[in-house]
Structure 1
C-alpha cells in the first residue's frame, strides 16, 4: 500500500507497499500546512521500500503505481483504430469490427499505454446527426437534428470497455459543432432540442460512459460569455440548465465543464473560468469537475504563451478548493514554429513540467492527450503541419513521451512530488525564467484580451499571429467550415 506519513520534523514521506491507497494523496491537504493551506514542496521525499523501477513501464503501468487514481487518456478516432492504414482508406469498405483478431498499430499502442479514452469527434452533436451518417442509407448527409447515428461512437466505446478502459464523453453542448439549423429556431424550440439531445446521447450510453464534458468553451477569450447560438437564444442560464438536464439524464455520471486558455491563473479568461465554476457551485448546479484543455504552442507569445508551472499549480489549487476535480482534457504541444534544434527540448519540458505541477495538487485527477501519435493529429487540419504529441508518425516514443512519463513518476514510488519543477516561482536560483532555453521573445501580438469581446470563434481561428490585418482570419465574417476529421 502507498501511504502518506509525517515524521517528527514534519517531512512528508510516500511509502510503497503491496497495494495502492487511492485516498492517500488527500492526506497531503492536511500535512505540513502552509499559511495558504498547502504543503511545502521542498519537504516531500520518497521512501521506496521495494526499490521499484519504472524505467521500462508503460504510461498506464506507471499510473497504476501512483498514490492516487490518475486517468491517462487519449482522444480516439475510429478509422485508424480499426483500419490497418488510414492513408489507404477511401470510405468504400466498412470499418474493421472492434473485436478484430489483429489490432492495428494505433490500437496496439493505445491499449498498451493508456487506461482511458475520449471519443475525439464522433460524439459531438453535428457528427452524430448530420456530418457522419455512417452506414445509414442516404445519398447526402441529413439536416434533421433528430436523426442520430451512434455507429462510429459505439464501436470506439465498446472497444475501450472490452479492455477495461475508462471512457469520457465529449461533448454534449458546444456551439461550434452544433447543427446550424438551431440558428433558425425560436428560443423555446432550441431549448427543447438541446434538452432532447442531452437526454438522447446520455441515455444511449448510460452505464457505459460515466464521465461527460457537458459544456465546452462557453467563454470568450476576454472572459465574457461567448456570443454563441445558445447565449443568443436562451441566455446565460443555458449553462446551468445543461448541467441540470445532464444530471437528470444520468444521476450517476460525473459532469465536467471544459474550456481553453484557462490552464494558468494569469489571464482574465482563467479568472472568469474560476468565477463561472464558483457561481455554478454556489447555485448547487451539479458540476463535479472541470477540464483545462492544454493545447499549447511552444512558440506562442502574448496571449498564446504557455503558462508557467507556478501558474498551472495555482489554478488547479483554487479550482480544487471549490470542491472540483481538475484534468488536462486535450493536451498537445505544437512546436513547428520553433527552430528545429529547440523543438524536442521545449516539448519535453512542457509535457513534464506543466503536468508535474498539476499532479502536485490533490484535485488533479487525469490527463487526456488530444490524440497520441503525430500520424493522426487534428493540428494538421486546423493549424499547420506539426508534431504535437508523444509518439511519432511511426508510433515510436519521442522525447516528449519520456517527459510525460517522468511527470507521472513524480507521484509514484521512487519519485518526488513536483519532480524538481519550479512550483512557487517563475524564476530559478540562477535568475533564469522558466522555459528560457526555448521561450520566444514576448513581442507585441494581435492576440490580447481586448481583441476578443464576446467572440465565439474556436481557438484555432484566433491564435494565428500575423502582421497584415487584411489576412488576419479573425476579420472574417463567416465561421470557418470544419474539415472532415479522419
Structure 2
C-alpha cells in the first residue's frame, strides 16, 4: 500500500437559515450511465470480462451496516487493508494473532468474495521488536513470519502482497531494516518462503508510483525480469494507482503490457484518484474520465487480472488526512451516493459508451420563518444541453425538523429522509430551464447539508449541496 497510508484494513452471483445555497458552483457533476449496467454490480461487470473488481476495507468500518451492505454486494474481491500487517499479526516475537484479519476474511467468505492478502514484508507498521533483531537473525525471523502467516491463510486467499514498497522514486532500494540488515537478497528470500508455505496462492510485488514508465517502474521491471530468469517464484505485480485527477500516466497501458510480457499478472491494487477540494462538476467529470481510462487500460491487457479500490467511499478515504486540501478520491461520496466515476467505470467494464449526461441542481432558500416553523423554496435547474424529462430531489432533515406539506411536487417522507418528485406539469426542463417547489416545515430553519437532485434516467446525474 501507499507509504503514507495510516492504519485502515469474490462475490459470484448515509448557516444561517436565510442563506442561499447554490449548487451551480458546487457538486452538480455529470454522471454517465448505461442502461445495460443499471442493475449489475461492478463486480459482476468485471467478472463478465474475466477480471475482478474489489475494494479494500478495515475493521473499524465494519460496524457501519450501510457500508458493509455495499461492500458485500458490489464487489467480487476484498483486500484486508491493515490487519494482516506485521504489527497486528506478530505483535511480539513468536506470538501471532489473526483475530482482526479473520474478521474480514470471514466476512468476505460469507459474501462469496475472494481475498487478497496485504502485506507480509513492509518497512512500515512493523512492531518495534523487529528493528531490534540482530542482523544475523533477521532473515530467519522474516522467513518464520512469512511461513506462519501464509500457512495460516493457506487455501483462502487468491493473492499475497509478499513485499511492499521496496524501491525509492529514483529506482534505488529503500533502506528499510530488511535492506540494511539482510541486503538485496531479502526480496527473493521472502518470495521463496511464501511459495514454500503455500504452493497455490499468487505471489505479488506491490508498490506505488509504478503505474507509468519511469525510473521506479524500470527498477521493478528489472527485478521481476531477473526473478523470472532465476526461477524466483513471482506471479504478479501490484500497481497501487494512488493517482491525481488529470494526471493518469499516459504510459499506463504500455507499462501494464510490458510487465505482462515478462510472464506475470498485473493488478491495480489500491486505486483512488484524488482532486483538490472542493468538488465541482468539472472536477467530477475529469475524475470520471480518469477512472474510465484506468479501467480501459486494464481491460486492454489480458494479464491485467483486476482492479481494487482503496476502499470505495469518501467517508473512509485515507486521502484527506495525508494530503490536506485534497480528497473526494473514490467512486462513492461520503453519503454512499454513486459519483460520475462509478458510472464511468461501469461503462468501461461494459465496453460501451456513457449515456448522454445531464445535470440538475437544487438551490434551497428559506422564504419565511416563525417560532417553531418555516417555509422554504427549492429551485430545480437544468445546467446541461440535454433536456430533463423528470427530476427527484432528496435530503435528510436536520435534527428536530419535520415537513408537513409541499406544493409543486410529490412529497414522500420516511423517517428523516425526504423525497420530492416533479409534478406532472413541471418535470420537463429545457437547457438552462428551472422550476420551483416549496414546503412547510416544523422546527428550526436549518439548511439541509445533503440535498441532492437526480434527473430522470434519460439524463441521469446528481447535484449535491456542499
Q: 2:158 aligns with which of 187, 198, 210?
A: 210
For the pair 1:287 / 2:234, whether they are aligned, the reply is yes
For the Cα contact (< 8 Å) 2:279–2:328, is it kept in 1?
no
The residue that corresponds to 2:179 in the other structure is 231
Q: Which has the higher contact order (CA 8 A, sep 6+)?
A: 2
TM-score, scaled to structure 2: 0.66
Number of residues of Structure 1 aligned to a counterpart in Structure 2:
321
The residue that corresponds to 1:107 in the other structure is 68
- Structure 1: gaps spanning 5 or more residues: 1-50, 85-103, 131-143, 300-304, 420-486
2:55 partner SS: strand
Offset, 1:337: 5.1
Q: CA separation of 1:196/1:386 partners in 2, compared to 1, >3 Å: closer, same or farther? A: same
Q: 2:120 aligns with which of 172, 192, 198?
A: 172
Offset, 1:52: 9.3
1:335 partner SS: strand
The residue that corresponds to 1:21 in the other structure is none
For the Cα contact (< 8 Å) 2:37–2:346, is it kept in 1?
no
For the Cα contact (< 8 Å) 2:55–2:75, is it kept in 1?
yes
* Mapping of residues 36-435 of structure 1, within 5 Å: 53-66=36-49, 69-81=50-62, 83-84=63-64, 104-130=65-91, 144-265=92-213, 267-298=214-245, 305-308=247-250, 311-336=251-276, 340-384=280-324, 386-410=327-351, 415=352
Q: Deviations over 1:392-430 (max 9, x none)?
A: 1111111111111122112xxxx48xx9xxxxxxxxxxx
Residues in 2 aligned to 1:287 and 1:275: alpha-carbon distance in whole angstroms: 13
For the Cα contact (< 8 Å) 2:172–2:219, is it kept in 1?
yes
Residues in 2 aligned to 1:129 and 1:245: alpha-carbon distance in whole angstroms: 17
For the Cα contact (< 8 Å) 1:211–1:255, is it kept in 2?
yes
Residues in 2 aligned to 1:212 and 1:154: alpha-carbon distance in whole angstroms: 15
Residues in 1 aligned to 2:294 and 2:235: alpha-carbon distance in whole angstroms: 23
Q: Deviations over 1:429-464 (max 9, x none)?
A: xxxxxxxxxxxxxxxxxxxxxxxxxxxxxxxxxxxx
Moved over 4 A (4+): none
Residues in 2 aligned to 1:327 and 1:64: alpha-carbon distance in whole angstroms: 14
Residues in 1 aligned to 2:137 and 2:286: alpha-carbon distance in whole angstroms: 48
Offset, 1:64: 3.1
Residues in 1 aligned to 2:348 and 2:35: alpha-carbon distance in whole angstroms: 16
Residues in 1 aligned to 2:123 and 2:75: alpha-carbon distance in whole angstroms: 30
For the Cα contact (< 8 Å) 1:145–1:179, is it kept in 2?
no
In proportion to residue count, which structure has more strand?
A: 2
For the Cα contact (< 8 Å) 1:374–1:389, is it kept in 2?
yes
Offset, 1:338: 7.6
The residue that corresponds to 1:444 in the other structure is none
TM-score, scaled to structure 1: 0.63
Offset, 1:341: 4.5
1:390 partner SS: coil
For the Cα contact (< 8 Å) 2:265–2:303, is it kept in 1?
yes
Residues in 2 aligned to 1:177 and 1:155: alpha-carbon distance in whole angstroms: 19
Residues in 2 aligned to 1:198 and 1:360: alpha-carbon distance in whole angstroms: 34
For the Cα contact (< 8 Å) 1:74–1:116, is it kept in 2?
yes
Q: CA separation of 1:169/1:75 partners in 2, compared to 1, >3 Å: closer, same or farther? A: same
2:344 partner SS: helix
The residue that corresponds to 1:15 in the other structure is none
In proportion to residue count, which structure has more helix?
A: 1
Q: Deviations over 1:289-337 (max 9, x none)?
A: 11101001226xxxxx4312xx011111111111111010100011125
Residues in 2 aligned to 1:278 and 1:114: alpha-carbon distance in whole angstroms: 32
Residues in 2 aligned to 1:380 and 1:148: alpha-carbon distance in whole angstroms: 32
2:327 partner SS: coil
Offset, 1:253: 1.2
For the Cα contact (< 8 Å) 2:73–2:111, is it kept in 1?
no
Residues in 1 aligned to 2:143 and 2:255: alpha-carbon distance in whole angstroms: 31
